[in-house]
Structure 1
Amino acid sequence: MPLVSVIMSVFNVKKYEYLLNSVNSILNQTYKNFEFIICDDGSTDSKTKEYLERISKLDSRIKIIGYKKNHGPGYSRNECIKFSKGKYIAFQDDDDFSKKERLEKEVNFLNKHPEYSFVGTIANVFDKNKIWGTFRLPEKPQKSDFLWNSPFLNPSMMFRADALKAVHGFRVTKETRRAEDYDLFFRLYAKGYKGYNIQEILFNYRIDIENEKHKKYRPMKDRINEAKVRYGGFKVLHLGYRSIPYVIKPIIIGLIPAPIFYEIRKKNIDNEQ
């Protein structure tokens, strides 16, 4: 029986190279007692199925599941969780990659610290050209750390399976479609579960920063939905009136010209390169 279930959601894979590098970063971990469940979230292209067939032949620990209609990453991860057998569940995105010691260090942390129900790490931020910054997060996030953004990097996380199942995994609704990670952490903290961020770079998180200059903003309806998630999350965490400006933060950002927001985002990620 595997101790760890690594889960990944894919939809219309951009590049096989990205997917392969991500999968290999798990297969090459120093920690070996895991299963790897990859869910095809109703991809509409033919190449993704071909890519996953290739991937499935790399290692017997890989299990491919899927369905025909796209439902979003929250639903897809929930399907993976249903199939999982591990005591711990680790996330991995299909275009990022983990340092080889990531799973070992997260398993060791959860084994030694029963007071914590999930653990993540800080990360390098990279694009196709280079590592260009560091994604820093608080070591022991408190409720107030949720005000600006989620204090956890979702694809770097490992959870106790019973904690995830106690909150019924991801909440799949229209309002959480672009904020399902944030919503999950709100609900975990509201139930008394706590998380920790290992202050070591064990993950590489892809943000193609130059593309951000030209990328269209998320539709305003998505920003309004995130504001609803924030309102509900701040309410269950009892953050009071001080949270009101942070509820409307995604709407305000949607009104900022793209070049200005690009500079703000770049500065907010610690650039050490």
Structure 2
Amino acid sequence: MDSNLSILHNNYKKKRVETLVAMAVYGGDKVEWVEQAIDSILNQTYQDFVFTIVIDGEISVKMMNKLKDKAFSDHRIILAQNVTKPGLASCMNKAAEWGLSLNPSYFVRMDADDISISTRLARQISYLRKHAYISVLGSALTEINEHGGKVGARVMPSSHKQIVSILPRRCSLNHPTVVIRYTVFEQGYRYDSNLMNTQDYFLWVTLASNGFVFRNLKDRLLNFRRVNNFYKRRGFSKSLNEFRARFNAMLKLKKLTPYNAAYACGVLALRLMPGKVVKLAYKLDRHLLDRFGKH
């Protein structure tokens, strides 16, 4: 067990579980959305899992009480506190490391403001059981607003060849939808905990360059929360990390071409533009990605 992950509640009695679901909760998260996210996992048609909820930093008393209520009402919930080195990457690494003792086969990502479709885990776990060579499995998603209304969709390329082909230009998996085969963690691979964002992008590039196989299902298995500030210009740090991630992909995957380099520079410039320009570009990107993902 990671000594920097403090377990606040654990009433899980089994010595082995097939799947570990991991989610981080932060001080700025909305209690209502977190409850919806938790319930969407607890109400899955597939049931052989533990649900590790990692509190990262300080949260409100209201949020803590809600998490404790959920944990005491369902033995599958493991409530933990990330003691050192904050950030999503650190939380996910520590959750994965804690879970090693339960000998799971699959690691499922979940975000605290999203909603998993009730058949999500059954669909993804079943697919991975039948395709042992696939190590990372994502899916399409539906974008919803603050009120739960549908505002868009994101369908990623499905085949490994397509996913890796466009990695130098964009992150080609929807991170909150991903299920990772636990052998990835057993072999020592981790998210880069020094990164506060784009950690998934860097991990996919590392795994792709080491021969791991990816796949995206076209099923929309997650409702992804797209809030009002979604189109605000990115901070320079995040924009720069995305730029670094693209060049990292070009180098590791041996795809350093003038087109890929120009694309990376263009996106960096776009990220720093006003929100209206970013919104227009995002809609165009969704249209092109949707068409590409259908082939």
In the superposition, the TM-score normalised over structure 1's length comes to 0.90
Partner of residue 165, structure 2? 144
Alignment of 1:100-249 (within 5 A): 100-129=118-147, 130-142=149-161, 143-173=164-194, 176-208=195-227, 210-212=228-230, 215=232, 217-242=233-258, 243-249=260-266
Given that 2:271 and 2:278 are in contact with CA atoms closer than 8 Å, whether structure 1 keeps it comes out as no
1:14 aligned counterpart, secondary structure: coil
* 5+ long unaligned stretches in structure 1: none
How far 1:115 sits from its partner (Å)?
Answer: 1.6
Given that 1:39 and 1:65 are in contact with CA atoms closer than 8 Å, whether structure 2 keeps it comes out as yes
**Alpha-carbon separation, structure 2, partners of 1:212 and 1:122:** 19
Which amino acid is 2:106 matched to?
A: Y
2:27 aligned counterpart, secondary structure: coil
Alignment of 1:77-92 (within 5 A): 77-84=92-99, 85=102, 86-92=104-110
Q: Deviations over 1:180-218 (max 9, x none)?
A: 01111111101100111111111111112x4345x3x22
Alignment of 1:31-42 (within 5 A): 31-42=46-57
Aligned-residue CA RMSD (Å): 2.0
Partner of residue 76, structure 1? 91
**Alpha-carbon separation, structure 2, partners of 1:76 and 1:38:** 9
* 5+ long unaligned stretches in structure 2: 1-15, 291-295
How far 1:240 sits from its partner (Å)?
Answer: 1.9
Structure 2 residue 113 is the aligned partner of structure 1 residue 95: yes
Given that 1:120 and 1:157 are in contact with CA atoms closer than 8 Å, whether structure 2 keeps it comes out as yes
Which amino acid is 1:119 matched to?
A: L
How far 1:162 sits from its partner (Å)?
Answer: 0.9
Given that 2:21 and 2:50 are in contact with CA atoms closer than 8 Å, whether structure 1 keeps it comes out as yes
Percentage identity across paired residues of the two chains = 23
Which amino acid is 1:34 matched to?
A: F
How far 1:13 sits from its partner (Å)?
Answer: 4.5
In the superposition, the TM-score normalised over structure 2's length comes to 0.84
2:274 to 251, 254, 257: 257
**How many aligned residue pairs are there?**
267
Flag the 1:177–1:248 CA change in 2: closer, same or farther, 3 A.
farther
Given that 2:168 and 2:249 are in contact with CA atoms closer than 8 Å, whether structure 1 keeps it comes out as no
Which amino acid is 1:222 matched to?
A: K
How far 1:18 sits from its partner (Å)?
Answer: 0.4
Given that 1:42 and 1:70 are in contact with CA atoms closer than 8 Å, whether structure 2 keeps it comes out as no
